[in-house]
Amino acid sequence: MKQLYKRDLIEIFSTLYKSEEASNNVFFLLDPFEAYIFSTITGAGYVNNESYPFSPRGYMKITNNIINPKLVNGIYDTKFNLTNSSRFLHKKYPFIFDDYKKIVFCEITNFQDYQDFIRTIRDNVKIPENIIVYPIDVSKKGNGLEPILEFMATIKFNKIGYITEHQTPLTQSLGSPDFLAFQFDFPSLLLESESEKKGFHIVESTLFFHRDFNKKLVYSDDFTKSLPRRVVGEAKVVSTNIEERLNKYTKSNFFDSSVKLVTELKDQNKNDSYLSLESGKISLNLLQNFSPSLDKYKLYEEWLMNYLKLYLVSNFTSEVFIDFVKEKNLDETNFFNLKTISMEEIFNII
């Protein structure tokens, strides 16, 4: 497989976003909410300080197991207190949703290179908090760049109507796949703006609290019926054990499709399900390549609905959340029992 360099990412991002050049760097302009998703998936840091650039990556977790869900420290703490929601992070870091953000790539060989680049940005940019830096450690020869593939897959699958997530939890034995794309049985759930209806990354459902996030979730029949409803993906830049991991995931019977997320696929054919970054663009060949048993498949859909509800609930203020939990008799032992709470009820509270 092909290693990714700065020039490759610039070529691909140039097909997706407007850009500007300054000080021998190319900066890509993203609206603040899409930039937040980019940072969440990739770990790229806002240049708010030299030592520890902020990223929401790691804060947006809820649980690590679908069979017997237990809370992990993330949006909620292990006692089911609302601690690191997007609303809370915005209060702590108000710059994250102010104005457009500029994504810039830098090649490094060690952490000092990264800090030097951050320092240069801070010395030469008027509002450094609006810059997000994604470092490419060329000494690792492509290892560690899988989050870029996860972000590219998010863009592509959202466009065709999927809800997506990266590093999604399954079970202790199965681990966490790099990528998940899913939709519910009809009607599907899409994110509607003034200009379009499309899918969304699950973390976008934590942003409705913000007045400038002018979008809403809507039920729709627009999702293409011929597409698989549940897609699991594994991202690899240099190693080649994708098939083994995908087979492991599909044997869970939670998915009806698996997809390889790669930089290139030398032996492409119409029977391969893949997303690749060849020729400077995102190419997708998506197949329904697995027939799961319906009992586990349906069980996972119910889990995903409750999972999405927990992300939506994180839009609440602390006071509203405390009242909500008390009224519904929820705590760390039963936080996943949201079946009787409708999406509409949560929307109305938000």
Instruction: Report the C-alpha gap between 325 and 82 in whole angstroms.
Output: 10
Task: Give 225-280 pLDDT, tens digit per residue.
Answer: 889 999 999 998 876 688 899 999 999 999 999 999 999 876 666 678 999 998 88
264 in Cβ contact with 197 (< 8 Å) = no
Q: Give the tens place of pLDDT for each residue, 99-132.
A: 999 999 999 999 999 999 999 999 999 999 999 9
> Of 101, 133, 102, 131, nearest to 115 (Cα)?
133
Q: What is the mean pLDDT of the chain?
A: 93
pLDDT in tens, 301-332: 999 999 999 999 999 999 999 999 999 999 99
- Residue 134 CA to residue 128 CA, distance in Å, equals 14
Instruction: Give me the pLDDT at residue 266, please.
Output: 67
Query: Which pLDDT band holds residue 177 (cuts at 50, 70, 90)?
Result: very high
Nearest to 75 by CA among 54, 56, 96: 56
CA-CA-CA-CA torsion for 228, 234, 239, 243, nearest 10 degrees?
A: -50
Q: Which of 129-138, 182-191, 268-277, 328-337 has the lowest mean pLDDT?
A: 268-277
Runs of H (alpha helix) within 105-177: 111-124, 146-159
Whole-number Cα distances in Å, 148 to 35, 75, 115, 155, 160? 13, 23, 21, 11, 19
Count how many Cα atoms sit within 13 Å of the Cα of residue 23 in the half-sphere of its side chain: 11
H-helix segments, the chain: 6-13, 32-42, 86-92, 111-124, 146-159, 242-250, 294-313, 318-328, 343-349
